Amino acid sequence: MLGILPNESIYSYLIRYCLKDGYPNLTSAVKYYIGSVSKQWSAQFPSFISQVSAFSGIPFQRLLFEHSVYPAYRTFLSKEVTNKVEELLQTGGTLNLESKMSLVANRLQAPSKLKYCPLCVLEDLENYAWEYWHIEHQLPGSLACSKHSCKLIGVKVNRKRLILPPTENLIRSSATDLAIKLSTLSESLFELNGFRLTSEVLNNVYRYRLVELGLATHNRSFRIKVAKWRERLKQYWEPISNDPQISEILNKDKGWQYPVNLLYGRDKAFHPLKHLLVIGHLFETFDEFISQYRLVECGHEPISVTEEKIHDFNGNDKPDDKIIELLRAGHSLRKISSACEVSIGYAKKIAQLNGVAINRRTQFIHESERRDVWRKLFIGQTTENIADTMGISIGAVEQILSCYPELVQLRKKIRYFNKRKKHRQSLIKSNHKYTTRKEIRADCSASYIWLYKHDKGWLYSNLPEAIPRQHRYSRKEK
């Protein structure tokens, strides 16, 4: 049985599966496996996922969340909508699907092209003997291959045609930094695996950042400087505004409510690209944005992203600009350390914070692994556990952690909430067994003392009523 390839789209897998069985043509093969020849094969949200799951043995959920663009859209949809959409996708009733997801109301035309990276095609042919469509290249806002830093090439397709990427005349052209940034943001959104972002928390994250950048005021009321924000957003993405969807979002007249409607339309669902353009403008990286989101979600104000990112070095006279210049010139960390009179660790951190590639030895952690480490750190796993499961040193994990000061603060909060949960559960358990505060304290003294120091209000609200002083001694005598 033909297995699905890494990051392969369902459409691509269906074509390869039909080709390998030796039918006279694709039409007859598709009719045998799907039972129809009139499906819209290259649609963003295929109506034949269940049939592919049935003949391939691949679980429906895996196909939907790993091999379709759906997770990128699910992140900004309500639970009610996602339940309906996933039910429709499973039964194949996708006729009004885009309307239910508010994609029609967003006034953005669905992409008319499938995209591919010429270098990915060559690698795929060498590694798998197949060319195929990568799902990350079909995501909203994906203009470049983040792996090879080259422009994606679009192939206009009829939704009822079955084609694979071309393998001849593959011409590579470098992508701009902005195109790579947007594509990386889109991939990071996809890698959340459909995790839903709450609109209220999301709006607060945007608001904090707008105030910090001077694009909104927050005195007695919150007011957005609409014209200023819209102009800055448009200027920021101007180098890649020739993309049809980006142009359609940004190049509207003054009556167009974007981007402020993202904050005021709380009950509305917006296209992921509209959020990505705002996130990319307000934050340097998606990891930085999601860290701020988690802090707000936990009820804390986010850390200022305009503050100096390096806090753990004394003095402000570090030659950062010179270090970056030497790094980009290709000098080794050891030479830079000597020339700038800083430690190798400091030079390495400056490289990581500024996205400068450096020549490393064989223990270099690949970018994809770094992102895995970041996500494990993000959910609060210990550095020892991450090092053990990833097969790397604890020092390497801590080095990655030190590049994200906001993540250090977030992990402190996570540890605090986990500890509070444990002690609360311990006290509730004792509360069910005993009737007096003295007995409860004796049963779970460690939890009692911790809650007294850190969560006194909750502690007293969940303890039995105190025995009046005049009755305490009489109880002892009895």
Whether 212 and 126 share a structural domain: no
Distance of alpha carbon 199 from alpha carbon 211, whole angstroms: 18
How far apart are the C-alpha atoms of 282 and 232, rounded to whole Å? 10
Measure Cα distances from 79 to 59, 101, 146, 409, 462 in Å.
22, 12, 31, 30, 33
Q: Tell me, yes or no, whether 45 and 137 share the same domain.
A: yes
Residue 336 structural domain: 320-409
Whether residue 289 contacts residue 283, with contact meaning beta carbons closer than 8 Å, is answered with yes
How far is the C-alpha of 212 from the C-alpha of 205, rounded, in Å? 11
Position with higher pLDDT, 446 vs 353: 446
Does position 287 have pLDDT exceeding 90, yes or no?
A: no
Residue 189 in 3-state DSSP? helix
Q: Cα(263)–Cα(224) distance, rounded to whole angstroms?
A: 10
Within-domain flag for 305: no
- Give strand pairing partners of 155: 114
pLDDT band (50, 70, 90) for residue 308: very low
307: in domain? no
pTM: 0.65
- pLDDT of 390 > 50? The answer is yes
- At which of 409, 433, 457 does a domain end? 409
Q: Is 181:188 a contact under the CB 8 Å cutoff?
A: no
What integer pLDDT is reported at residue 253 of this predicted model? 63
Q: Which of 356, 395, 398, 361 is nearest to 376 (CA)?
A: 398
Classify residue 134 by its DSSP letter: B
More confident residue, 256 or 182: 182
341 vs 347: CA distance, rounded Å:
10
Whether residues 34 and 87 share a domain: the answer is yes
Instruction: Please tell me the distance from the alpha carbon of residue 92 to that of residue 45, in angstroms, as a whole number.
Output: 10
With 90 as the cut, is the pLDDT of residue 252 above it? no
Domain final residue pick, 409, 437, 466? 409
Instruction: State the pLDDT confidence band at 399, using cuts at 50, 70 and 90.
Output: confident
d(CA 226, CA 254): 10
Q: Is the residue at 304 inside a domain?
A: no
Whole-number mean pLDDT of the chain? 84
Q: Which of 111, 121, 116 has its CA nearest to residue 159? A: 111
Percentage of the chain lying above the pLDDT 90 cut: 36
Regarding whether 290 and 210 lie in a shared domain, the answer is: yes
Rounded to an integer, what is the distance from CA 328 to the centroid of its chain?
Answer: 28
Q: Are residues 138 and 54 in the same domain?
A: yes
- φ and ψ of 251, to 5 deg: -95, 50
- Give the pLDDT of residue 321: 81
pLDDT > 70? residue 131: yes
Interior angle at CA 277, CA 65 and CA 84, nearest 5: 35
Same domain, 131 and 38: yes
User: Is residue 6 reached through a cis peptide bond, with omega within 30 degrees of 0 on the bond before it?
Assistant: no
Integer Cα distance of 395 and 236 in angstroms: 37
Distance CA 153, CA 164 (A): 13
Say if residue 57 is in the same domain as residue 136.
Answer: yes
Q: What average pLDDT does the segment 254-279 reach?
A: 83
Same domain, 14 and 130: yes
The count of other CB atoms within 10 Å of the CB of residue 377 is: 24
Residues near 59 by beta carbon (within 8 Å), at least 6 away in sequence: 53
Q: Can you tell me which residue has the tokens 């607060």?
A: 204
Which pair of structure tokens corresponds to residue 362?
């064989």
Is pLDDT of 130 > 50? Answer: yes
Q: Which two tokens stand for residue 466?
A: 């105190």
Phi, psi of 371 (to 5 degrees): -70, -35
d(CA 44, CA 273): 15
Cα 41–Cα 43–Cα 47 angle in degrees, nearest 5: 70
Assess whether pLDDT exceeds 60 at residue 477. no
DSSP letter at 138 equals: G
154-167 per-position pLDDT tens digit: 998 877 778 999 99
Do 272 and 141 touch, CB atoms closer than 8 A? yes
Asked if residue 191 belongs to a domain, the reply is no
**Percent of the chain residues topping a pLDDT of 70:** 88
Query: Domain tally for the chain?
Result: 4
* pLDDT reported for residue 52: 93
Confidence grade of residue 316 (pLDDT, cut at 50, 70, 90): very low
- pLDDT band for 255, please (50, 70, 90 cuts): low
Establish if 173 belongs to a structural domain. Answer: yes
pLDDT digits (tens, 9 = 90+) for 1-34: 789 999 999 999 999 999 887 787 888 888 888 9
Measured at the alpha carbon of residue 380, what is the angle toward residues 377 and 383, in degrees to the nearest 5?
A: 55
Token code pair at residue 128: 């798998």
Do 19 and 153 share a structural domain?
A: yes
Question: Around 428, how many Cα atoms within 13 Å sit in the side-chain half-sphere?
Answer: 7
Q: Would residue 210 count as lying in a domain?
A: yes
Residue type at 407 in one-letter notation: L
Residue after which a domain boundary falls, among 264, 297, 330: 297
* DSSP tag of 251: S
- Reported as a single tens digit per residue, the pLDDT across 181-235 is 999 999 999 998 888 898 888 999 999 899 888 888 877 678 888 889 999 999 9
Is the domain of 50 the same as that of 168? yes
Q: Report CA 445 to chain centroid distance, whole Å.
A: 41
Measured between alpha carbons, how far is 240 from 143 in angstroms, rounded to an integer? 9
The answer on pLDDT for 466 being more than 60 is: yes
Classify residue 31: in a domain, yes or no.
yes
Looking at residue 235, its pLDDT comes to 92
Residue 311 CB coordination number (10 Å): 9
In order of 4, 14, 35, 58, the CA distances from 32 in angstroms are 19, 12, 6, 18
**Is 235:70 a contact under the CB 8 Å cutoff?**
no
- Torsion angle, alpha carbons of 382, 397, 314, 361, to 10: 170
Residues 429 and 468 in one domain: yes
Contact 13, 4 (CB under 8 A): yes
Tokens of 447: 């939890």
Residue type, 29: A
pLDDT at 458: 92
pLDDT digit string, tens, across residues 71-120: 999 999 988 999 999 999 999 887 778 888 888 777 777 788 999 999 99
Residue 267 falls inside a structural domain: yes
pLDDT band of residue 266 (cuts 50, 70, 90) is low
**Pair 336, 404 in one domain:** yes
pLDDT of residue 314: 34
- Are 150 and 144 spatial neighbours (Cβ–Cβ below 8 Å)? yes
Tell me what the mean pLDDT of segment 428-443 comes to: 89
CA quadruple 306, 310, 316, 321: dihedral sign: negative
Q: Tell me the pLDDT tens digit for each residue of 237-249.
A: 999 999 988 998 8
